[in-house]
Structure 1
Amino acid sequence: MNADTLRARFDAPDELGIGIEEELFLLDPETLDLLPRAREVLERVDGDARFKLEMPAAQLEIVTPPCPDVASAVASLAAARRDLAAAAAPIGRLMTAGAHPFADELGVLTDDPRYVRTLAEYGERARRQLVSGLHLHVSLGGADRTLAVYNAMRSFLPELAALAANAPLYAGRDTGLASIRPTIAVYLQRQGVPPAIPSWEWMADALSWGEVSDTVPDPRKWWFELRLHATYGTLELRVPDAQSSIDDLHGVAAFACGLIHWLAGRFDAGETLPVADDWRIEENRWAAMRDGVTGTLADLETGERVNTREVLLARLASLPDAPGLEHTRALVRSNGAIRTRAVAADAGVRGVAAWLADRF
């Protein structure tokens, strides 16, 4: 795929469209442990394109169609949740979070050829990928605009990760992290903060090298927390943990899209958007993973540390008000990681699984 083809793909989508992908777990209705029967659930929805299998055999994915705004995308996803829960009811219950609170660390994988190849390549590391994310596809209606926003948006990944942190429990214990998910994801390659991309020629060369070397023959294996999706022509944000309720999901999506549109507006006004060094962003990414909204983040230019809640509230103040941002403010006060720990203190890890299933 050459640079001209890439430009054409990112020029093609409608301006400011959004699609949502949500990964979720299937639970045994009695034990609330992971239940590797997702394929049976998928068979019950009779080829509905909104639902897909994922690598773990106990995981499914909801995919919304492209929508004109966040509110309509969230409404589409909520309807899909209801339909999938009804289909799954004779088999098990559904839940969403960055990780299951007490399941074994090694899972059963889906017997799809794609995942069989992944297992052959990665072995046990593939079986450890029992994590769920929330992915947002945003089309910006212009290749140059999309590339500039991609490079600038890398700096905001820690803020989004802190807000959306929703996986403090894993394998029956408190990990000491607001989200264990990134530490599991890195068992596979090309994770975390992505590199800056200086041009479409650079990206075309990177994709070509990955294919020729057989290192990354499939562009879908660029698993970074933000990526330029060459098939859809979208900016794909992959940093958030899966959210346990529709309101929480709405808050994360509204904040993320607000940031993206804010950056796009600055680009349209002629501003050269800043591009930060990877390692500085990665330092903040670590702080977000560890502390969520309760810690601090470093200013990427001055190094000054600022309370994460203050950073998020200041960022919200710079965005136009929009539906869903009231849920963002609620997450700043108490996000998934905080509430999960509160439930665990009262009801233990199995009580957390029940609470998560009830919130679906």
Structure 2
Amino acid sequence: MSIATPRRSALAAELRETFSAPGDALVGVEEELMLLDPETLDLTPRAADVLAAGAEDERLRLEMPAAQIEVVLPPAPTVDAAAAALGAARADLASRADGLAVLAGAGTHPFTAAEGVLNPHPRYAEMVRDFGATARRQLVFGLHAHVCVRGPERVVAVHDALRSYLPDVAALAANAPFADGRDAGMASVRPGISELLPRQGVPPALGDLDGLAAALEWGAASGRVPGPHRWWWQLRLHPTHGTIEVRVADAQATVADARAVVALIRALVHRLAERHDAGETLPVAPTWRIEENAWVAARDGLDARLADLRTGEVRPVADRLRALVQDLGPTAERLGDGGALAAAETLIADGGGAARQRAAAGGDGRAAAAFLAERFLAG
């Protein structure tokens, strides 16, 4: 079901202006990282202390959990440039945190308590007021990619078609097999925790920018969505940056893995835009069918078997991803991301982050945390 198209509003006109403005084909990366106690390796709520330990750094920001720091990078011309910047930011953050915390990247912490400490910011106090203990359960860590796409009709067509690929990206990036100190039997428990809040998971198809404007206006009028910052879907059009923001991926253990995931996302967005430009009507699948694949991807990761959204034919996601990488190759080369996209093949071949965590942990959550901390600056 698509969001109904209303009459044109001032917000719709503003959105059309944002996505019509000239913009370079850049890629932006954000990742949410966990702070661990140096002795216990449990989450430690010292993000504010770490940020206060040195000069102000615009790349490093507080997030809702007090044991989380978000790295927000400026837009880059290629995925390799973004990966280099991410590696530098990780190194600088680890140096700043020395003596206070160690860093790790994954979708969830392997053994911490279900509820955690939140940062004392009015925005997060509002979250507790609205959602209570559910807000304190949001100890989840994601990798977000922003891709610049221009043209109001074009960006909506890409957004609505891209929804169908969210389970494939989630399977590639699944990196959260543990919760509450035990193996949860999932490749990623992060979606289940996130979806305790509203407006999570697979977004509705928009149809056009008027539909997005109507949704945001209804949310503001009802008080349920006080601003676009609470439009939390795994995929969204960012009205400030004028980007397609893909939020489905778990945080990755290494920069190399993040590079591979972001390269796939960026090439996929641009390939869909190319198909639209060639006059193709991009398919828009029913949300519930995508959600069926999303559940299996969260459970099985790169071992998942996903269904064709038109025929229902089931196929291993690893085969789907390999075919997708081949299809995206020429697009990635044009973007300067050929080598980065090829790294996705390595991630597919070795089973991904969840499999690595399980192999390293041997059923021990603390061993998993130690593995993640050791891998944080790998390479």
* TM-score category of the 2 structures, normalised to the smaller one: over 0.9
Over the aligned positions, Cα root-mean-square deviation in angstroms equals 1.1
Number of residues of Structure 1 aligned to a counterpart in Structure 2:
359
CA contact (8 A) 1:45 1:84 kept: no
> What is the deviation of 1:143?
2.2
Distance in 1 between residues matched to 2:250 and 2:358, nearest whole Å: 16
Moved more, 210-219 or 12-21: 12-21
CA contact (8 A) 2:108 2:178 kept: yes
Aligned to 1:72: 81
Aligned-pair identity in percent equals: 52
Moved more, 70-79 or 153-162: 70-79
SS in 2 for 1:259: helix
Distance in 2 between residues matched to 1:12 and 1:314, nearest whole Å: 34
> What is the deviation of 1:13?
5.1
Mapping 1:1-360, distance limit 5 Å = 1-12=10-21, 14-320=23-329, 321=333, 322-333=338-349, 334-345=351-362, 348-360=364-376
Aligned to 2:3: none
> What is the deviation of 1:142?
2.4
> What is the deviation of 1:15?
3.1
Q: In the alignment, residue 241 of structure 2 is paired with which amino acid?
A: Y
SS in 2 for 1:318: helix
Distance in 2 between residues matched to 1:102 and 1:354, nearest whole Å: 11
SS in 1 for 2:249: coil
1:338/1:11 CA distance change after superposition, 3 Å: same
CA contact (8 A) 2:35 2:103 kept: yes
Q: In the alignment, residue 339 of structure 1 is paired with which amino acid?
A: R
CA contact (8 A) 1:109 1:115 kept: yes
CA contact (8 A) 1:98 1:181 kept: yes
**Which blocks of at least 5 consecutive residues in structure 2 are unaligned?**
1-9
CA contact (8 A) 1:16 1:141 kept: no
SS in 2 for 1:240: strand
Q: In the alignment, residue 190 of structure 1 is paired with which amino acid?
A: R
TM (norm. structure 2) is 0.93
CA contact (8 A) 1:17 1:138 kept: yes
Runs of 4 or more off by more than 4 Å in structure 1?
A: none
Distance in 2 between residues matched to 1:295 and 1:3, nearest whole Å: 39
Distance in 2 between residues matched to 1:338 and 1:222, nearest whole Å: 31
CA contact (8 A) 1:164 1:243 kept: yes
SS in 2 for 1:24: strand
> In the TM superposition, what whole-angstrom CA distance separates every residue of 1:84-140 from its partner, at most 9, and x where no partner exists?
110001211000100000001110000111101111111100010011000111111
CA contact (8 A) 1:10 1:142 kept: yes
Distance in 2 between residues matched to 1:65 and 1:13, nearest whole Å: 17
Distance in 2 between residues matched to 1:9 and 1:134, nearest whole Å: 24
Distance in 2 between residues matched to 1:27 and 1:19, nearest whole Å: 26
SS in 1 for 2:364: helix
